[in-house]
Amino acid sequence: MDVSAHIEAVYAEVRRRDPGEPEFHQAAAEVLTSLTPALERHPEYAETGILDRLCEPERQLMFRVPWVDDQGSVRVNRGFRVEFNSALGPYKGGLRFHPSVNLGIVKFLGFEQIFKNALTGMAIGGGKGGSDFDPKGRSDGEVMRFCQSFMTELHRHLGEHTDVPAGDIGVGAREIGYLFGQYKRITNRYESGVLTGKPVAWGGSQARTEATGYGAVYFAQEMLATRGEGFEGRRVVVSGSGNVAVYAVEKVHDLGGRVVACSDSSGYLVDEDGIDLELLKEIKEVRRSRISAYAEAKPGARFSARGTVYDVPCEIVLPCATQNELRREDAVALVKKGVRAVAEGANMPCTAEAVDVFQEAGILFGPGKAANAGGVATSALEMQQNASRDSWTFEETESRLAKVMRGVHAQCRETAEAYGGSPDDYVRGANVAGFLKVAEAMTAQGVI
């Protein structure tokens, strides 16, 4: 079989079946173009249509979400859940509430989740969901009514052995609480393991809030260690200022680095003294304000609504905001300014062209499906604790998280080298390693 022709045919079919979904096309292309050496060694996966099946979700759900705002007006949003692949376990992946959410974005996120979850070594499949609802500026009552309406439809598709959502952009502890409450009310079952990202007081895991940000930093630390380097004394830029970004900042500081800039959708902040983590948390997690409030509160800090956070000179970059935020021109500028490593804390924050720039320049690049796997890994640890009615300490959970990230890093390097690439080719390593695990399980379970 001509493997290259087979891969191109699969990708052509993705574009034909799913027009108008550029993010999904991008995610599929990124994975498929890495798999040539794997299919050459395992032609049976091509012959049994594994790629064709991987690129088509097992189930796609789209539904109306009506709710009533504080003025008594009826609002209607659209809800999504794409249950992509359950070969390794129940569907697992977050819910995103943001105006940009559409079916193509949910599919790209769910597709990435298949391979990310496989890399963790946990028994979890891939899925993703969300809504075009925007929780920003909404009262607690409005968010509650929306979440209750959303879960009224979605609950019939969930279960701790079927599909286990978590949080993502716009879905934090508040939203998870309202979603779980409605699930419990409708089903009359206290299934702690049906949602992860819960507060610790009622079934959540210690270190879950910190896990994605911490995990990205651990992965970057492992990459740097291969060149005898670390975070100590390094200038770091973190994009975003949500959950992932905040705890990436925290862990960088723990490891001796200095985060000098972060951002939100209104612009970016520079603090040459190093981001004051407590002030950042106060502004973003308590006040729920724009990041410009930081500059107003901290002498010496400055806010800019022009340009991007990647204009700030640095040695390490952790993109932790959203997809396709770091473009080719940003990558070129960062390379010229001496960047050493990039680890994606968000899902696909670098465009394909930006990734090419980093790889051609020999910059260490950790793709999101590997670098930000710490969040879903800790969600799986939360599921373990729920199943056993147990609760682990923060230190125990963080230790397990660090071990998982070391394992993901090692898998990527070993697999990249085993399949004809440089051990520094983390994109190839992550895609091939994740694919082989899923393909083996799909083959064993038959054509379903």
pLDDT on residue 290: 92
Evaluate whether 228 touches 420 at the Cβ level (below 8 Å). Answer: no
Tokens representing residue 81 in the block = 């859940």
Closest CA to 81 of 125, 119, 41, 46: 125
**Residue 261, SS3 per DSSP:** strand
Whole-structure pTM value:
0.95
Evaluate whether 312 touches 270 at the Cβ level (below 8 Å). Answer: yes
Written as one string, the DSSP assignment of 404-440 is HHHHHHHHHHHHHHHTTS-TT-HHHHHHHHHHHHHHH
**Which residues carry out catalysis?**
128
What percent of the chain is helix, strand and coil (3-state, nearest 5)? 50, 15, 30
Per-residue pLDDT of the chain (448 residues; tens, 9 = 90+): 899 999 999 999 999 999 999 999 999 999 999 999 999 999 999 999 999 999 999 999 999 999 999 999 999 999 999 999 999 999 999 999 999 999 999 999 999 999 999 999 999 999 999 999 999 999 999 999 999 999 999 999 999 999 999 999 999 999 999 999 999 999 999 999 999 999 999 999 999 999 999 999 999 999 999 999 999 999 999 999 999 999 999 999 999 999 999 999 999 999 999 999 999 999 988 888 899 999 999 999 999 999 999 999 999 999 999 999 999 999 999 999 999 999 999 999 999 999 999 999 999 999 999 999 999 999 999 999 999 999 999 999 999 999 999 999 999 999 999 999 999 999 999 999 999 999 999 999 999 9
**Residue 268, SS3 per DSSP:** strand
Task: Point out which residues pair with 264 in neighbouring strands.
Answer: 267
pLDDT on residue 204: 95
CA distance 346 to 61: 24
Closest CA to 255 of 346, 343, 365, 368: 343
In the sheet with 302-304, reading across from the earlier edge strand, the strands are 302-304, 267-270, 258-264, 235-239, 316-319, 341-343, 364-366
pLDDT on residue 1: 80
CA distance 437 to 448: 17
pLDDT on residue 383: 96
Domains of the chain in start order, with CATH, are: 58-190 (3.40.50.10860), 209-371 (3.40.50.720)
Closest CA to 262 of 321, 218, 335, 324: 321
Sorted by sequence, the CB contacts under 8 Å of residue 231 that are 6+ apart come out as 217, 220, 221, 224, 252, 255, 256, 257, 316
Cβ atoms < 10 Å from Cβ of 152: 17
Label residues 217-245 b or e (16+ Cβ within 10 Å = b): bbbbbbbbeeeebebeebbbbbbbbbbbb
Residue with tokens 């985060």: 259
pLDDT on residue 44: 96
Strands (E), 120-193: 125-131, 163-167
